[in-house]
Amino acid sequence: MTTVAAIQMISTPDVATNIATASRLIASAAERGATLVSLPEYWPIMGMNDTDKVAQAEREGAGPVQDFMATAARRHGIWLAGGTIPLQSPEAGKVMNTTLIYDPTGQVARRYDKIHLFGFNKGAETYDEARTIVPGADVVTFEAPFGKVGLAVCYDLRFPELFRAMGQCTLLLVPAAFTYTTGSAHWEVLLRARAIENQCYVLAAAQGGQHANGRRTYGHSVLIDPWGKVTALLAEGEGLITGAIDQALIDGIRSSLPALQHRRL
């Protein structure tokens, strides 16, 4: 079996502070035996304004945030799923909201740009990621030593066709910064649904608390098994969870309930 970890943060507007927090938590996850560690969405910066991340956007392959992630993966000999970071985009005033996967040598193995951009308007609570983010276009997976891993980010969770397009995976990664309003209603049920219908593990690293900009994120970083059972959970606050990926459990469930074979398109 393989041990994986999800890091939960309450990221601040200060990149250096967030890097220090991530460094400490990654080291703790590695000490607990995790060979794959996931950071949450927006981990390097939760700015006072949506446009703050545009000013911090890095060019692909260069910048202090990417340097940190490469070094952390190499130092601890882990696969590091870099939550999301803002990378420069083709459109002025906007970024790509990007997950970078680093292998244990510190090399970038895969890149995923968030496809579905969050929009929400309820009273005084309003979000519109499309104002500052360019959507991605490609479905992305990668091969880890323990199996195929599918990549998604936060709002992507609401679109099951994305996960079907990945094919049969061992693990789905869903770094997120769900709002408290939507998270308290939908977070766990959506994650469990993706695990059950795809008969695989889901690891979701989240932002989890009250941020300096006034936003409250839901947290509840979680590992869910292919039967839909929550095997590790951190409700709120900074910290991490770890848990095991058991291929024998996946194989047994897919054998006894071969729903993936029963699909009719």
114, 129, 200, 236: which is the annotated catalytic residue? Answer: 114
- Note if 148 is an active site residue: no
For residues 219 and 21, the answer to whether their CB atoms sit within 8 Å is: no
154, 169, 200, 236: which is the annotated catalytic residue? Answer: 154
For residues 236 and 207, the answer to whether their CB atoms sit within 8 Å is: no
Chain position carrying tokens 């590992």: 223
What are the distances in angstroms from CA 237 to CA 82, 115, 184, 186? 19, 27, 15, 19
The dihedral formed by the CA atoms of 178, 133, 139 and 239, expressed in degrees to the nearest 10? -30
41, 58, 129, 236: which is the annotated catalytic residue? Answer: 41
Q: State how far Cα 194 lies from the chain centre.
A: 14
Provide the residue type at 258 as one letter.
Answer: P
The dihedral formed by the CA atoms of 187, 255, 37 and 10, expressed in degrees to the nearest 10? 10
- Note if 229 is an active site residue: no
- Note if 114 is an active site residue: yes
Indicate which residues carry an active-site annotation. Answer: 41, 114, 154
